[in-house]
Amino acid sequence: MDLIWLVVSFLLTLMVLSYFLGDNVFFRVATYLFIGVSAGYVAVLLIYDVLWPRLFLPLLSGSLIYLVPLVLAILMLAKLFPAAANLGALPMGLLVGVGAAIAIGGAVLGTLLGQTQAAANEFDLASASNPWLQFLEALVFLAGMASVLIYFQFNGRNKPETGTPRSPLLEKFAKTGQVFLMITLGAVFAGVLSAALTALIERLDFLTTTVMSLFSR
């Protein structure tokens, strides 16, 4: 069985890497297999880890309050049928509203307030080994955070026809925020590219090792 799975992994890796030669049937088959297996895995997880323990078991134990999410789920399935699609508006609205509230709450509490607290903590020089260096780092941190926030002030672009123009000082500060954004996005892109190259090297090493292993048998 180990040999069979080794050969299957080898062939699937070759099928995915065949995309270097252009879109072809082998790459599409590997993609369909990946999507199908992923969908099946997620479906099994939802049934055994969510629906059964968190919905059906409470219903079977007599908790009728769980009829509410069951009815909402059934109404959501009505979106699959054009004639009854309006029935899914209520659960869809609840889903979008709750999702938006969670996203906004996470952005405010986890990001905006978190960044503000982190910027304030940087100015705590009592326990710093080098207070002047930490003070300089705190100023850069604060300037980067403030300038990026000013850059996203969309209602004050320096275009009179689209809104109230910014003052020259704010406009220069917004340009500084643009520089910080470019550095951040560049670092993120470098991290993604590094991860992709690491995965590619690992797969190439797997192919080489597998070929050597098969021919040495």
Q: Is 185 exposed, middle or buried (0-12, 13-18, 19+ CB in 10 A)?
A: exposed
Band (pLDDT 50/70/90 cuts) for residue 186 is: very high
**41 pLDDT above the threshold of 90:** yes
- What is the DSSP secondary-structure string of 47-105? IIIIIIIIIIHHHHTT-GGGHHHHHHHHHHHGGGSGGGGGGGHHHHHHHHHHHHHHHHH
Task: Over range 115-128, report the average pLDDT.
Answer: 79
Look up the pTM and report it.
0.60
Length of the chain: 217
Q: CA–CA separation, 13 vs 203, rounded Å?
A: 7
Band (pLDDT 50/70/90 cuts) for residue 128 is: confident
Give the model confidence (pLDDT) of 101-115 as tens digits: 999 998 888 888 887
Q: Where are the domains of the chain?
A: 127-217
